[in-house]
């Protein structure tokens, strides 16, 4: 089913409320947050990536520190991840470029937008996955 249906099925009501509140207060589509979370961690608060990204929204430690959140605390991880996504949506004014930035970093997204680098495998697959989750 949709990322939102999966989120409702696997996340606690408290965490769903944090997602909803954060998305609404920052004017981010809650479906986009659910899709990013599904693609990033599969809704797993204990998820760790090979490069060190943490939790539901797969925050990198430096990003979490810059956002002033503890990425190991699910509520803070979500709140920080939604805030970071909102920043990227404002910065790039385009959902796809913001998603590329969320996955591969703003510097890479900027270079991609200026046609200096191609969209490489992992990020291309990530973008396709989020788009697919949003389309259903």
Given the residues 40, 75, 79, 122, select the one marked as catalytic. 40
Write the DSSP string, 26-88.
TT--HHHHHHHHHHHHTT-TT-B-TT--BTTTTB-HHHHHHHT--TTSHHHHHHHHHHHHHHH
Q: How far apart are CA 85 and CA 46, in angstroms?
A: 20
Q: Do residues 39 and 133 make contact, with C-beta atoms less than 8 angstroms apart?
A: yes
Q: Do residues 55 and 76 make contact, with C-beta atoms less than 8 angstroms apart?
A: no
**Tell me, what DSSP letter sits at residue 95?**
H
40 carries an active-site annotation: yes
Task: Enumerate the active-site residues.
Answer: 40
């Amino acid at each position: 089913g949709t990322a939102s249906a999966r989120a409702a099925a696997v996340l606690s009501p408290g965490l769903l409320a944090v997602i909803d509140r954060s998305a609404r207060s920052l004017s981010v589509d809650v479906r986009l947050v659910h899709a990013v979370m599904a693609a990033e961690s599969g809704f797993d608060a204990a998820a760790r990536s090979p490069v060190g990204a943490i939790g539901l929204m797969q925050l990198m430690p430096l990003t979490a520190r810059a956002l002033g959140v503890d990425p190991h605390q699910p509520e803070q991880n979500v709140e920080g991840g939604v805030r970071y996504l909102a920043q990227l949506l404002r910065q790039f004014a385009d959902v796809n470029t913001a998603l590329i930035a969320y996955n591969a970093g703003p510097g890479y997204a900027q270079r991609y937008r200026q046609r200096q680098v191609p969209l490489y495998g992992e990020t291309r697959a990530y973008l396709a996955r989020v788009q697919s989750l949003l389309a259903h």
